[in-house]
Amino acid sequence: MLSRVKSAVASFVGGIMVSGAAGGEPPGSAELPPRFPYTRPTFLALSPDEVECSADHIARPILILKETKRLPWATGYAEVINAGKSALNEDQACCEVLMLKKRPGGSSTPNKTPTAKRRSSLPNGEGLGLREGSECEGLIIHYWALFDGHAGSGAAVVASRLLQQHIVEQLQDVLDVLLNLGSLPPTVHGEEPNNHNSPGPQRTLTRAASLRGSAGAPSSPCSPPPRFFTEKKIQHESLVIGALENAFKEMDAQIEREKAVYNISGGCTALVVAFILGKLYVANAGDSRAIIIRNGEIVPVSSEFTPESERQRLQFLGFMQPHLLGGEFTHLEFPRRVQRKEVGKRMLYRDFTMTGWAYKTIEDEDLRFPLIYGEGKKARVMATIGVTRGLGDHDLKVHDSNIYIKPFLSCCPEVRVYNLMQYEHGTDDVLVMGTDGLWDVLSNEEVAESVTSFLANCDPDDLHRYTMAAQDLVMRARGVLRDRGWRITNDRLGSGDDISVYIIPLMYGNRQL
């Protein structure tokens, strides 16, 4: 085990061990066809030659939108490849306007809007033939997503093509409820046992109503008297959150199913922003990040999931299911590696129940390698992977062992909600989405200062200003190539990782309401 751990620890800077059995691909998977061919985001409209030129690890050209109207809300986008960390850019991005269409018969069917309709509706979403919140028509969804791949780009490419379909399918199940409630206040739902003829809006979706598949179904003449117990009240935004959570799980399950048929390499983090009925839903599984810059203030709308931030969840799983540790790891954490000569002595430790530290007497089993090793950006789960949530990684094992890491990696996102109806946003109020290549070298404050100062010097009527601001931000994080590598402000080390950035102007969201 010691030699395996040493080999894995040597990969800290590179991330994941991918050689032999430890990699994200099982034997023989390289011969399988890819689920989708590698490319850059379709909205960049790059030719094959341009895609090839974008992979220059020395020049690292920054790619931006050629046409602003390709993305909704005049969204800005820019990206750059890594400095040699991987052969391909393992980041992927997707941005679309989607709709769920309700048929006259009452059933709803999901549809991805054709490109022609999507372009004709930009930047504000008109021209789709639907009014958002209309009971008889359907629901419009504005969708942005970033995927940061590791141990290959396969999972990121697949997720960028298919995750939005799973989201639409999940929202279809609650479409009738959402359309009936779209114009009501945030806490309003469908009340049961009220009937459709009662005055006033229906204000709660009760557990009993949801089990019957109907919000506020009419009471029959034989309805029983009101119950004498309190039923759980479900907020309608919780239905959207649940749809996003289930969509991530379905996407992860599809990758697992199809890896026997296709070569879907590695895994990926996923950061999604969906604009639905006046609210931005930010779903994050991984270490990408989104912030809102509003009137010069920073509003974080996501959290990173790393071995350190999820220490207690990982330790609890190791405690409850010790067989997952393979007899090689301990779920306990110590300030440093325990030496055999320290058996019988007292040392600081902590487990899943603790945020602080206490002393324990060292036993033989404490000599096992810690489940979480290292700190900061070098922290790894089982000395292998530095992120704890994402999609894929079903075949990932500890280097030169048969210990699977996937049980410790969650595909479930954290979903936060930002209500655009509560604020009037100006032309410089934006949401910034970025993969970790951006945030590894720039703080929230530095990003906000960069974007705010750049937009302040642009013509407010120039819709291309958000793409130029994204380009400027990527340039600041990449830095300039010098004798000692890529350098940024104050001669700090620039990002050698792939960087992808969206800058989404929030004022267009207000115009939808």
Residue among 257, 378, 377, 372 at smallest CA distance from 317: 372
In this predicted structure, what is the pLDDT of residue 31?
Answer: 85
Give the chain's residues under pLDDT 70: 1-28, 103-136, 181-230, 512-513
Q: What is the mean pLDDT of the chain?
A: 84
Provide the pairing of β-strand 329-330 with 369-370.
parallel
Neighbours of 267 (CB within 10 A): 34
In the block, tokens 């899943």 appear at: 352
Query: How many alpha carbons lie under 13 Å from residue 482 in its C-beta half-sphere?
Result: 12
Q: Position 189: which residue type?
A: H
In this predicted structure, what is the pLDDT of residue 232?
Answer: 79
d(CA 191, CA 203): 5
d(CA 295, CA 133): 29
In this predicted structure, what is the pLDDT of residue 25?
Answer: 57
Query: How many alpha carbons lie under 13 Å from residue 445 in its C-beta half-sphere?
Result: 0
In this predicted structure, what is the pLDDT of residue 130?
Answer: 41
Secondary structure element (H or E) that encloses residue 146, with its range: strand 138-150
Is 99 in contact with 164 (CB distance < 8 Å)? no
pTM given for the model? 0.84
d(CA 353, CA 359): 14
Percent of the chain topping pLDDT 90? 68
Q: 67 in the Ramachandran plot: left (φ > 0), alpha (ψ -120 to 50) or beta?
A: beta
The gap between the terminal CA atoms of the chain, to the nearest Å, is 59
In this predicted structure, what is the pLDDT of residue 129?
Answer: 38
- Alpha helices by DSSP H, 385-502: 436-439, 444-456, 465-478
pLDDT tens figures, 101-146? 875 555 555 554 443 344 333 444 443 434 444 444 789 999 999 9
Domain boundaries, the chain: 29-178+237-305+412-512, 309-384
Residues 179, 430, 125: CA angle, nearest 5 degrees: 40
CATH number among 3.40.605.10, 3.40.50.300, 3.40.50.1820, 3.60.40.10, domain 29-178+237-305+412-512: 3.60.40.10
Based on the number of CB atoms within 10 Å of its own CB, is 457 exposed (0-12), middle (13-18) or buried (19 or more)? exposed
In this predicted structure, what is the pLDDT of residue 227?
Answer: 60
Q: Position 14: which residue type?
A: G
